[in-house]
Structure 1
Amino acid sequence: MKIIFMGTPDFSVPVLQALVDAGHDVVASYSQPPRRAGRGKALTPSPVQARADALGVAVRTPLTLRDPEAQAEFAAFAADIAVVAAYGLILPRAVLEAPVRGCLNVHASLLPRWRGAAPIQRAILAGDAETGVCIMQMEAGLDTGPVLLREATPIASKTAGVLTDELSAMGARLMVQVLADFDGYLPEVQPEEGVTYAAKIDKAEARLDFSQSAEAVERQVCAFNPVPGAFFEVAGERVKVLAAQSFPGDGRGPVMGGPQLGPGLRRGRVVDEVLLISCGTGAIRPTLLQRAGRGVMTTADLLRGFPIPAGTQL
């Protein structure tokens, strides 16, 4: 097919690559404009723009698609279909209707659950048992279109980074599968029941909330790895937690693998010499941490140069 691809972050790159590898004619790749990044704040192209340049695919980076000139340029490519994967800009109706066969989206959730901007992190935070990918026909509503194909995968203890890579590869494979037999898939209208919305992640959410259960705190750690990075503060310093182990408990007695917490212990207090931290119920022990400007290290390595004694309130 003659395809316009639309995507921006690393999640999108395998989808673009899969379309090219499958022999489709990718006539243009749309991505968000380059942004300033790094210590020098140099303008840096998005991962999709970088890969498209390497593949020799024409790149367009409009600030908006609401401008009539941008819409006319999009329509002039005369594409059979547009494939969208985490593009990050709203597509107006004129863009949605320009390709002959419309627009298909790779969405990283099991719709109608977790429509919106951050479905992977929200699924982890909510404690969902599974998530997946839907190949969806796009319409004017937010992720409301009918689904052509879906596939699920267990979440278990996967971090957002691991899950993003897995769902990206899955989405690339499913999209190529759909395009190979486009007319053979019957669009399935999304049910009205079970709709949830995945709001954009606010960096403030990454501060570990020790008033929650230990299991919920561990989910925070997984959901915000690699970015923005779950953290606590101690001695005026922010320490990121990249991995942790939770120990269940009811808040009144001992936790499995840890000391007696007792009903009056303040949540967020360090209760032993190896960084077991009390939570609303149970406790959590970080296993991989990172201080500002330092590399990732184990708890034992961190405590050797940066002691956090029992009784410390985080």
Structure 2
Amino acid sequence: MRIIFMGTPQFAVPVLDALVQAGHDIIAVYSQPPRRSGRGRALTPTPVHARAETLGVPVLTPVTLRDADAQAAFAAHAADVAVVAAYGLILPRAVLDAPRLGCLNVHASLLPRWRGAAPIQRAILAGDAETGVGIMQMEAGLDTGPLRLERRTTVEGKTAGALTDELSAMGAAAMVQVLADPDAYPPVAQSANGVTHAAKIEKAEARLDFSRTAIEVERQVRAFNPAPGAFFEVNGERVKLLEADATLGSAPNGAVGEEREGFTIGCGEGLIVPRLVQRAGRGPMTPAELLRGFAIAPGTILS
């Protein structure tokens, strides 16, 4: 098929690769414009942009698709279908209707649960037992379109990074499957029940609140790994908590008690046992390594 691919982050790259490997003709890639990053503040293309360039596919980075010229340019590709994976721009009706088969989206949740920007993190934070990925026929509403195919997986114990990689691979395979025979996967309307919204993750949410239960804190740790990174402050310094276990027990909220292999953190209910932490400007380390060069007295209140 003649495909326009629309995506921005690393999540979308395996989808693009799978389409190429399946023999489809990627006639254009749309991605978010390059942004300044790093110490030198150099303009950096998105992961999808960079991958498309290595594949020799033309890349377009419009700021908006709402103006007539952008819509005309999109339609001029005469695509059979547009495949969308975490693109980041609202697609107006003129764009949705331009390809012969419309626009198909790889969405990383079990719709209608977690419509919106951060479905993977929200599923972890909510303690969902399972999540998945769906191939959705896009329409004007926010992730409201009918589903053509859905695949499921478990959530327990997985970080957002690991779950993102898993769902990306699942979504890539599902999209290839649908495009191989679209008539075999007719669109089925989403349920009207169980609708939830996956709001964008704000950096402030990554500050750990030890007045919560240890189970909730452990979910924060997984949901914000690798980014933005769950953290607490102690001795005037921010420390990221990359991996942790929730256990039974009690201690004053936020208190730290030394153990043989590190320390424990008291929560509103239960205890958090850190397994991997990171100081600012340092690499990941075990709690024991942290405490050898960064003393935390028992009873210290973390914030």
Q: What TM-score comes out, normalization by structure 1 length?
A: 0.94
State the match for 1:167 in structure 2: 167
CA distance in 1, matches of 2:12, 2:119: 15
* 1:231 corresponds to: 231
The CA deviation at 1:214 is: 0.3
Q: What is the aligned-residue RMSD (CA, Å)?
A: 0.8
Deviations 1:130-176 (A, max 9, x none): 10000000000000000000010001100000000000000000000
Aligned equivalent of 1:280, options 246, 268, 283: 268
Cα deviation 1:199-239 (Å, max 9, x = unaligned) = 00000000001111101100000000000000000111100
Q: State the Cα deviation string for residues 104-138 of structure 1 (Å, max 9, x = none).
A: 00000000000000000000000000100000000
What's the CA shift string for 1:241-300, capped at 9, x where partnerless? Answer: 10001113xxxxxx1xxxx53xxx2x1111335321110100101110110100110110
Large movers: runs of 4+ above 6 Å? none
State the alpha-carbon separation in 1 of the partners of residues 258 and 272 from structure 2.
Answer: 11
Structure 2 unaligned spans of 5+: none
SS at match of 1:83: strand
Q: Is 1:6 aligned to residue 1 of structure 2?
A: no
State the alpha-carbon separation in 1 of the partners of residues 67 and 46 from structure 2. 22
Q: 1:302 aligns with which of 287, 290, 294?
A: 290
Could you say which residue in structure 1 is the equivalent of 2:60? 60
**Residue in 2 aligned with 1:95?**
95
**Corresponding residue number in structure 2 for 1:210:** 210
- Over the matched positions of the two proteins, sequence identity in percent amounts to 72
Residue 240 of structure 1: how far off its partner (Å): 0.4
In structure 2, the residue corresponding to 1:188 is in which secondary structure? Answer: coil
Q: Tell me how far apart the structure 2 counterparts of residues 235 and 246 of structure 1 sit (CA, whole Å).
A: 24
Counterpart AA for 2:137: Q
How far apart in 1 are the matches of 2:27 and 2:258? Answer: 60
3-state DSSP of counterpart to 1:164: helix
SS at match of 2:263: coil
Q: Kindly report which structure 2 residues correspond to 1:29-40, keeping only aligned pairs within 5 A, or say none.
A: 29-40=29-40
- The residue number in structure 1 matching 2:280 is 292
What do residues 54-92 of structure 1 show as CA deviations (whole Å, max 9, x unaligned)? Answer: 001110000010111111110000000000000001001
1:194 maps to 2:188: no
Match of 1:270 among 256, 276, 300: 256
Distance 1:212 1:133 in 2: 30
Letter in 2 for 1:160: A
Question: SS of the counterpart of 2:192?
Answer: coil
Q: How many residues align?
A: 300
Partners of 1:284 and 1:309 lie apart in 2 by 17
Does residue 185 of structure 1 match 2:185? yes
Once residues 296 and 9 of structure 2 are traced to their aligned partners in structure 1, the CA distance between those partners, rounded to angstroms, is: 37
TM-score computed with the length of structure 2 as normaliser: 0.98
Match of 2:28 in 1: 28
Shift of 1:97: 0.6
Distance 2:8 2:117 in 1: 13
Q: How many Å separate the matches in 1 of 2:34 and 2:100?
A: 29
Aligned partner of 1:252 in structure 2 is none
Task: State the alpha-carbon separation in 2 of the partners of residues 268 and 186 from structure 1.
Answer: 52
What's the counterpart of residue 105 of structure 2? Answer: 105
SS of 2:142's equivalent in the other structure is coil
